[in-house]
Amino acid sequence: MPQLSPTATVVQNFGIGKITLVYSRPSIKGRTLFAENSALAPLGKLWRTGANQATRLTFSEKVTFGGKAVDTGSYALYTIPNANEWEIILNKGFNNSGTDGYKESDDVARFKVPAVNVPGLNMETFTIELLNITAESCNLMLMWGNTMVAVPVTTNFKDKSRASIEAALKTDNKPYWQAAGFYYEYEKDYAKALENVNQAIETNKDAFFMYMLKARIQKELGDKTGAKASAEKTIELAAAAKNDDYVKQANDLLKSL
């Protein structure tokens, strides 16, 4: 028989790691939701944040969860719904059967976030998603009925990535291309980015995408002449490779100079 509250697994790459979510998804089915004595997530009471087993969150890298530092590992996600805000609880008891076995002493993070009423949301089945994802931040979204709750999650990958890149640049197999992208995109160190993209181009002189990055770096450095030359080289090589996307990107950059 199909599960009444089917289990879902969500795996999201985040930073240089990943977040894994396992939870069961109950549906409203005409019942009262978020009321003081309702059968579904009653207000003011500890909830498993789903159905069946406790909802499990696993972080492969350290994160900040709702402003609280959280180490790698698996945790149970508990909540206490209220009309205007929810209390979010991250707990060590990820193998608990729902709220059975919950111990407050096992909490690793506890905080409150706003609960927003969204007219027209009408989410029949309880849904948790990871949305608004950037390299360093995302939102864990809890949605049911017309209620939406957002939990901010952040990560610091730069220190680890920087150390890894700097160590690799001292080896015989130097990651010039990856280093150029890191210094350009995340460090905003355009001088280092230019140095590394030039080295990368020496190893692959037909790489139109490398010339495109070089043009962007030169633009940031205020070198319009260099950026123009690199963009034109991108167009030449990308056209030969029949890559219209990079031809367009280079033409757009030329228009912006």
pLDDT at 246: 98
248/254 Cα distance (integer angstroms): 10
In which domain, by residue range, is 13 found? 7-154
In a domain, 27, yes or no: yes
- In 10 A of CB 77, how many CB atoms? 26
In a domain, 11, yes or no: yes
Q: Is 63 helix (H, G, I), strand (E, B) or coil?
A: strand
Q: Do 129 and 217 fall within a single domain?
A: no
Q: Do 133 and 25 fall within a single domain?
A: yes
Lookup: tokens for 108: 């690793």
Query: Can you tell me the mean pLDDT for 160-169?
Result: 95
Q: What is the DSSP letter of 37?
A: T
Q: Do 123 and 39 fall within a single domain?
A: yes
In a domain, 205, yes or no: yes
pLDDT at 76: 97
What's this model's pTM, rounded to 2 decimal places? 0.86
255/243 Cα distance (integer angstroms): 19
196/198 Cα distance (integer angstroms): 5
> Looking at this protein, which amino acid is placed at residue 49?
T
In a domain, 1, yes or no: no
Domain boundary among 101, 122, 154: 154
Lookup: tokens for 141: 């979204």
Domain boundary among 154, 181, 196: 154
Q: Do 59 and 115 fall within a single domain?
A: yes
Lookup: tokens for 28: 């409203």
**pLDDT by residue (tens digit) across 117-152?**
999 999 999 999 999 999 999 999 999 999 999 999
Q: Do 116 and 209 fall within a single domain?
A: no
**pLDDT by residue (tens digit) across 4-22?**
999 999 999 999 999 999 9
- Say if residue 44's pLDDT is above 90: yes
Q: Do 30 and 145 fall within a single domain?
A: yes
Residue 243 sits in a domain whose CATH number is 1.25.40.10
Domain boundary among 104, 135, 154: 154
Q: Do 217 and 108 fall within a single domain?
A: no
pLDDT at 36: 86
Mean pLDDT of the chain: 96
In a domain, 56, yes or no: yes
- Say if residue 1's pLDDT is above 90: no
As for how many domains the chain has, the answer is: 2
